[in-house]
Structure 1
């Protein structure tokens, strides 16, 4: 696959992963009583409302990036505020996990159709392209999920961790926020982050692949 061909697969996969992730945040916040994201046009599956240009570029180039954070106001949440923050923060990564699973199911469907076609079929090229795309879509969603669960501000993992810490520990942890971008850059430059996250994402991918192709 050439560079340009790869971009044609990567860009729509990245847009789908980002859009589903951010929409899930907005939808969960809305279900808890906060309509901040809705007022700002973020309760939508339109990718243009969620894309951060730099984050998109980084995700395409190094497979780790970000979208525009969905604005929420935890004071509008019904019930326990910290529990609401955890639910909203988990909604995005779990949506990516679900989309990865659906992608592999579609991959199996397409592969089954392809196996039934004659070798001379004109559709084999389309089948191969769809297989490539669905595999990439599953992988990127899992990378996006695992990356966003890193407990560094402003990623989802930091919000989850902050919500379960004691007030004193929370104040100490929040002091890390100013240094979080630098820490992430150092982790990327030293390739520490990929060495940790890629095996985790690939292990989850292998597990899902086995579930879809080995059991279902």
Structure 2
């Protein structure tokens, strides 16, 4: 990736990032809709239109700043509204709704991996089409796996925190929920300190190694 300028790299990652965030949030809303809460559906959030999920600061400004100054993409979208009281089994279903986002990212990572393999097969026939497909596929695998692993961190308001909160005894869950207003600040501090990357990157690499096209992704981003 050293042959690409920062602007080219940003353009390469733009589509995978938008898709990763959009499908992630839409998956939350769709699963909540299936389980009895129609809040997100009524507000137009069960959609693949990225404009419905973009947060000007979290989706645009922060990722641009962290990419150009730290070399990593970090950001968030507008959270999909879910009313747990409307779910058939509130505590259990909230965990299922939370896991839908990371699950969609794992599925997209696999699809991008197959895109890499398709690009490798097409390369001898149409090099100009194959190369962007391979690089975009690699970016798609990386960003979706990173987003999946990041969101599984057991810290509110992340999906991992929602899952943990669903399984804690009610009294402990109430105490844990009080940390949610500080969750994003804690996450940013962990990110800036480098602790977050030191924990997440090995997990990201291990997950990538299980996916199609993994050799290309590892060679591009981890060597």
> Please, what TM-score do these two structures have when normalized by structure 2?
0.87
Larger Rg: 1
Secondary structure, aligned partner of 2:210? helix
Deviation sequence 1:72-106 (CA, Å, 0-9, x none): 1111112x211110110000000000000011011
2:117–2:213 contact (8 Å) kept in structure 1: no
Matched, 1:96 2:105: yes
Give the counterpart of 2:48 among 45, 50, 57. Answer: 45
CA RMSD between the two structures: 1.7
2: CA distance, partners of 1:139 / 1:187:
20
1: CA distance, partners of 2:46 / 2:180:
27
Q: Which residues of 2 match residues 177-192 of structure 1 at below 5 A?
A: 177-192=180-195
> Please, what TM-score do these two structures have when normalized by structure 1?
0.90
Aligned length: 206
Cα distance, 1:189–1:142 mapped onto 2, change above 3 Å: same
1:64–1:143 contact (8 Å) kept in structure 2: no
Q: Structure 1: which 5+ runs fail to align? A: 118-122
**Partner in structure 2 of residue 87 of structure 1:** 96
Q: Which residues of 2 match residues 108-187 of structure 1 at below 5 A?
A: 108-114=117-123, 116-117=124-125, 123-187=126-190
Matched, 1:54 2:57: yes
Deviation sequence 1:153-201 (CA, Å, 0-9, x none): 1111111000000012112212222322221121011110011111111
Matched, 1:209 2:218: no
**Partner in structure 2 of residue 77 of structure 1:** 87
**Partner in structure 2 of residue 32 of structure 1:** 35
Cα distance, 1:164–1:33 mapped onto 2, change above 3 Å: same
1:22–1:50 contact (8 Å) kept in structure 2: yes
Cα distance, 1:25–1:98 mapped onto 2, change above 3 Å: same
1: CA distance, partners of 2:37 / 2:176:
26
Deviation sequence 1:138-157 (CA, Å, 0-9, x none): 11001111111111111111
